[in-house]
Amino acid sequence: MKFSYKSSLIKRLCIGFVCVFIFQITGFAQVNNKETQTYDMGDGMTFTYAKPKFFEAFKHVPNDIYEFGKFTVQKENLFWTGMAVGSTLALIPFDQKLLDNAQEIGKPLGLYEDVRYTRFLGLEVLPKNINGAIYYLGNGLTPILLSGGFYIAGKINNDYRALNVSSELIEVLVSSGVCTQIIKRITGRQSPGPAIDSGNPGGHWTPFPSFKAYQTNTPNYDAMPSGHLTTYIASLTVISTNYPNTKWIKPVGYTLAGVMAFQMMSTRVHWASDYPFAILMGYVIGKNAANRRIKKEVRHDLTGEIIHPKFKTDFSFSYRADYKMAGVTFSF
């Protein structure tokens, strides 16, 4: 089997990015004992983690699904539920036009071609073109790959936070998959590709398609909501919630989400209205999974004020002529 230099380079870049990303943001705990590890997050805030157990990646899945359902009907969250539903309804009449515009813009950018992957044992393992690399962001193997990386980093550094993130990524992958499948099988919305081929602008809707019909001709029924975007947002939320001090994760992560959403429209995979509910669902699932494992504490002094670090101390050593110099720097 022959691979082009371009596809080989894309694979190396993808693997290299994952490795650099994980080992750049993970680190050591400031307070460590056998049962828990505590991390100083600054501004008087600490995150404490217990060492995760293997089955925690799966035992909370039913609760994730329940918590998302509860979130959508709670009074304090009705604004966000209404925004997702309202955005969806507002976009549906313009779906075909927005899709056509995305294809027009994507074609000269090379975001029009079908995604291509290297397959191994029937699985799409690594992308072979730029479209495949973008689409791969929401692929189920991406959180699995990230989970493996966080697990290795956690074991090497004895880092409970990284180990918990590894477990959470598998949890949100399963929870997102179950939630999106439930809604897809309720809405039965036709994907853009077969909709255009059959002359159905905007795609037809077949609520509650039969199990056989769905399995036999899945693209005719599985557009809404986007499983790729749900999985991606859930994974991004897990990582950004656990590493709030790494400021670039959110802007870079949400920018890539926008690129992937556009690419899926340009390649006739999703309509624009498939996205609002996917974003809400991914965020809620990811936030619940992450916050469940973090014990957050704010330190206070005797007056009740939050304790902020007054200064930082840095020590340095250097040689000048034949003398060894020691120095200390205070940062206020």
pLDDT, mean over the chain: 84
Cis peptide before 225 (omega within 30 of 0): yes
CB-CB contact of 156 with 45 (8 Å): no
Q: What is the pLDDT of residues 42-92, one digit of tens each?
A: 888 999 999 998 888 899 999 999 999 999 999 999 999 999 999 999 999
Read off the pLDDT of residues 287-324 as tens digits, 9 standing for 90 and up: 999 999 999 998 654 444 554 444 454 555 565 555 55
Backbone angles phi and psi of 294, in degrees to 5: -105, 125
- Residue entry with tokens 């930082």: 312
127 and 120 Cβ atoms separated by less than 8 Å: no
- In the chain, the percentage of residues whose pLDDT exceeds 90 is 64
